[in-house]
Structure 1
Amino acid sequence: MTINLTSLNHGFVSLVGAGPGDPDLLTVKGYRVIEQADVVVYDRLVSAEILALASNKAEMIYVGKKLDFHCVPQEQINQLLVDKALQGKRVVRLKGGDSFIFGRGGEELETLAEYNIRFEVVPGITAAAGATAYAGIPLTHRDHAQAVQFITGHVQKDGKEIDWSAAAQSNSTLVFYMGLKQSGYIADKLLTHGLSQEMPCAIIENGTRREQKVYRGNLVDLPNLAKRAQSPALIVVGSVVSLHEKLDWFKSC
């Protein structure tokens, strides 16, 4: 369903995933919604090219987060969206990747729902799909992996641990978001629960951007690879990583 935002008399919020970095990966619907916004509330990883799509009359509000530092606490972001919508504004909440995959988009929409504020969700290409595709690493492959797991490298809100045994023993590609700082811990847990030291792994830095870098090695090498990489970065563990050199199309573009 397409909503005509110009016909709304009350505030409306569009939760938009901006994609993993390459501005050309923004969806057509995301483009249209950003152009119509009165207010754009955006995160750190949204590219300047995508921000430039907004009207020069739009209010641009930065609420970016990075490791160990939150420019604006999440509760204040939630309230900001509410306040702007209640002022009758067309609000775009713009996030990198996809807003529903480790983006806290669900939490923000829960707050809007409590205030009976109308909203829509415009999906984006998540980093795991975009960065691996640009690195020539298929997430699934009949000869390598029949499943994929997206895992956060951050400590869970309730303190629960990842099921490391299930992760290590599954025939899956493992993709860790926000795991650079925890790379040593991730490697240790996977090795302890039975994953081979020789299991291929990669760290993709600045995935899909012109400055993308791929650091490739084996699982036992992961902590050393992480010392070379910088955020934003994605960790991929699985035999599909062995296809990187053969399928690395982006490097030659």
Structure 2
Amino acid sequence: MAEHPAYPVGLRLTGRRVVVLGGGQVAQRRLPALIAAGADVVLVSPEVTASVEAMAQAGEITWKRRRYQEGDLADAWYALIATDDHDANTRASAEAERHRVWCVRSDDADAATAWTPATGHSEGVTVAVLTSSARERDPRHTAAIRDAVVEGLRDGTLVAPHHRTRTPGVALVGGGPGDPDLITVRGRRLLAEADVVIADRLGPRDLLAELPPHVEVIDAAKIPYGRSMAQEAINDALVEYAKQGKAVVRLKGGDPYVFGRGMEEVQALAEAGIPCTVVPGISSSISVPGAAGIPVTHRGVAHEFTVVSGHVAPDDERSLVDWPSLARLNGTLVILMGVDKIGKIAETLIAHGKSPDTPVALVQEGTTAAQRRVDATLATVAETVRAEDVRPPAVIVVGEVVTIGPGA
């Protein structure tokens, strides 16, 4: 008799009785999904793993500490049979057949009336993969297909645009330190769904090349400012495109809220009644030193790290940084946007007690193919920057942690 393919279906198990026989590794893997589906789970097993026991103690499942007995599957909607007793499994499977309970068997897929697909989730979508017949069952193959589809949906390489009416809005996405692989999964997916991308110069530029041709990419540095300040013009552009009903992504380098003026844009959008989603990004303050082999903290060396902006000099009346206090700290000092002010910063730190021999590392174009590291001390850093022609963007690390990594 010809074998027919399995019929795929999504079970709605909320509040419905599901019986699991066996408390080993199979049950441990399957129970979380059943609990998440809202099922009324009854587990029958004399022994269970520590994780399964924790689920029972938390009240997520009901645990009957005994072996399978005839009648356990009465009134069940679905059953998972996963004991190490083949005879008990066969008897339970027969009971399920009599009561018309869909039944999965971990020990004998051919004897089951249902199979568990390889499943994954991405933004409200469940991906479930089944082989077409018992003869062709290959769990590793179905899992690999599942992983490929879910990963593609998450990172945007598998584009599945929404066709429902979208509410105008803006996603403020932190692009990370520069390497396109270091953007978050959610950020990459939102980029793939965008109609308009307004990008900073320091955003991960390689990501823009992956966008479909219909996406309008706007360089924030080239928005015509007229009589407005640059940030005001960017805010206006975000509001204007969102009001046109387009999906707008504001792609920023690092994290939007770490010296990224992200809150200014969120406030402008809120005032205009435009919803905004903020997607955090990996800040260059920790990722760039890490990429250069420098830990910002290390046991016995630094128990804290401080991140400051160096875009204005210490003697500038606009500076909000307490440089004398920073000079007294024992931990790591990370300076962003401070290449052209590092000479004055070093002088100020030394003047307030920091040793001139304090190690300094400058990491230019961190996490990209152009990354390079230049080492100095507070006493020599200004001249080193000139001699080595260090240019922005560069992250400056001050402290003993500079000397302990493999790149030191």
Task: Give the TM-score of the pair, scaled to structure 1.
Answer: 0.89
Amino acid at match of 1:238: G
Amino acid at match of 1:25: L
Residues 6-63 of structure 1, C-alpha deviation per residue, up to 9 Å, x if partnerless? 4553311000011111111111111100000010000112233211232211111101
Once residues 154 and 214 of structure 1 are traced to their aligned partners in structure 2, the CA distance between those partners, rounded to angstroms, is 20
Gap change, CA 1:147 and 1:3, over 3 Å in 2: farther
Once residues 122 and 20 of structure 1 are traced to their aligned partners in structure 2, the CA distance between those partners, rounded to angstroms, is 14
Residues 147-199 of structure 1, C-alpha deviation per residue, up to 9 Å, x if partnerless? 11110012399724421121111122111111001011110110011000111
Q: Name the counterpart of 1:241.
A: 402
Q: Name the counterpart of 1:163.
A: 322
User: Unmatched 5+ residue regions in structure 1?
Assistant: 66-71, 249-253
Amino acid at match of 1:126: S
User: Unmatched 5+ residue regions in structure 2?
Assistant: 1-122, 126-160, 223-228
Say if 2:348 is the partner of 1:224: no
Once residues 281 and 200 of structure 2 are traced to their aligned partners in structure 1, the CA distance between those partners, rounded to angstroms, is 14
Once residues 307 and 343 of structure 2 are traced to their aligned partners in structure 1, the CA distance between those partners, rounded to angstroms, is 18
Equivalent of residue 342 in structure 2, options 183, 187, 198: 183
Q: Name the counterpart of 1:68.
A: none
Question: How far apart are 1:102 and its partner, in Å?
Answer: 0.5
Say if 2:367 is the partner of 1:194: no
Equivalent of residue 289 in structure 2, options 129, 132, 137: 132
Question: How far apart are 1:142 and its partner, in Å?
Answer: 1.5
Say if 2:275 is the partner of 1:118: yes
Amino acid at match of 1:203: L
Once residues 3 and 222 of structure 1 are traced to their aligned partners in structure 2, the CA distance between those partners, rounded to angstroms, is 51
Q: Name the counterpart of 2:45.
A: none
Residues 230-253 of structure 1, C-alpha deviation per residue, up to 9 Å, x if partnerless? 111111101100123x257xxxxx
Contact 1:40/1:94, CA 8 A, preserved across alignment: yes
Question: How far apart are 1:116 and its partner, in Å?
Answer: 1.5
Q: Name the counterpart of 2:256.
A: 99
Once residues 307 and 359 of structure 2 are traced to their aligned partners in structure 1, the CA distance between those partners, rounded to angstroms, is 17
Once residues 384 and 254 of structure 2 are traced to their aligned partners in structure 1, the CA distance between those partners, rounded to angstroms, is 24
Contact 1:37/1:55, CA 8 A, preserved across alignment: no
Q: Name the counterpart of 2:62.
A: none
Contact 1:204/1:233, CA 8 A, preserved across alignment: yes
Contact 1:36/1:55, CA 8 A, preserved across alignment: no
* Matched ranges for 1:34-113 at <5 A: 34-64=191-221, 73-113=230-270
| Structure 1 stretches of at least 4 aligned residues deviating more than 4 Å after TM superposition | 2-5
Equivalent of residue 21 in structure 1, options 139, 157, 178: 178
Question: How far apart are 1:75 and its partner, in Å?
Answer: 0.5
Equivalent of residue 144 in structure 1, options 298, 301, 323: 301
Contact 2:178/2:205, CA 8 A, preserved across alignment: no
Once residues 142 and 25 of structure 1 are traced to their aligned partners in structure 2, the CA distance between those partners, rounded to angstroms, is 26
Task: Give the TM-score of the pair, scaled to structure 2.
Answer: 0.56
Once residues 124 and 211 of structure 2 are traced to their aligned partners in structure 1, the CA distance between those partners, rounded to angstroms, is 18
Equivalent of residue 368 in structure 2, options 180, 191, 209: 209
Secondary structure in 1 matching 2:339: coil
User: Among the aligned pairs, what percent are the same residue?
Assistant: 42
Once residues 155 and 45 of structure 1 are traced to their aligned partners in structure 2, the CA distance between those partners, rounded to angstroms, is 19
Moved more, 72-81 or 3-12: 3-12
Residues 211-239 of structure 1, C-alpha deviation per residue, up to 9 Å, x if partnerless? 11111121111101221211111111011
Once residues 19 and 63 of structure 1 are traced to their aligned partners in structure 2, the CA distance between those partners, rounded to angstroms, is 17
Q: Based on CA coordinates, which of the two structures has the bigger radius of gyration?
A: 2
